[in-house]
Each structure stands twice: as structure tokens, then as C-alpha cells.
Amino acid sequence: MDPAASDTVGTGFQSARLWFVARSGDGLVSEPREVIEQAGLHERVAALLDELVRGPTGEGLTLLPAGTTLRHAYLDERGLLTLDLSGAFRSGFRGGAGAEELAVGSLVRTLGDNLPEVRWVMIVCEGVPLASLGGHLPLDRPLELADWP
């Protein structure tokens, strides 16, 4: 049997809900999307992040900087997901307090809607704790998904 053929046999798609910034800039809007089904946590998180960075296909905007990628993802037994993002997440962000909250909200809500095992999200950048993305929203502690309805 051809090994390449066996790699594609189980590949499928799954529905995901992504959250983007409303064009009005006053909140978030959801967009359903079909993404390639991934087995591992890192791959699932990376696929969702890639889709957010790519941006919406319909109404909405993305505030996640181009080049933002997932370096590592770790989920502990309590449901705390620690994301280690590339430096582009911090260095490429442009915006004030509102944009910062919407960018983080987009990421947190997308992860929460698609990874039921996650209860909190902790964001670090290049392996270093991130105090804030743009100087307004504290990111030095876990973000509880229940706070991001």
C-alpha cells in the first residue's frame, strides 16, 4: 500500500466557529468555517490560530497580526491552555485599548468555542510572559473563558 495514500484516508473536515471583529469595531461577530480535522492539541490550536490570522471570508476584520503563529500549546489537567505565540503577535499589533480587547477576545472566544476542554487561556510570547499586548489589557494571568461571552 502506498504510505502517502494511507495518510489521507482519515483526513476530514470539521466545523469551527471563529470570532472576528465586527466591521463597526464595536464587538465580535462569529463565522462558521470548515477546517481540516486535527488530532493533537497543538495542531488543533495552530489550525484555529491560522484561520484567525487569515481573516474572515464574510463580514468582519481580524486584528491578529500577520505572521502570528503558535510555537507551543500546553493544556493542564485543570483546563488551563497556555499558548506560546510567535513574536509577531506582540510586535505586529497596532491599536489602542479597544482593539487590544477585541484582538484578545477574538482569540479567546475562538478557542473556547472549539476546544471544550479549555477553561482558561494564558498567553505568552516567544516563551516569555506577556504583561499586555498593547498596554491596556493585563495578560499576566489566565483569562477565564466565562469572562468572554
pLDDT digits (tens, 9 = 90+) for 32-61: 999 999 999 999 999 999 999 999 998 899
Position 92 pLDDT exceeds 90: yes
Position 4 pLDDT exceeds 60: no
Position 2 pLDDT exceeds 60: no
pLDDT digits (tens, 9 = 90+) for 123-138: 999 999 999 998 999 9
Say if residues 98 and 59 touch (Cβ distance below 8 Å).
Answer: no
Residue closest to 122 by CA, chosen among 144, 149, 98, 142? 142
Model's pTM, two decimal places? 0.89
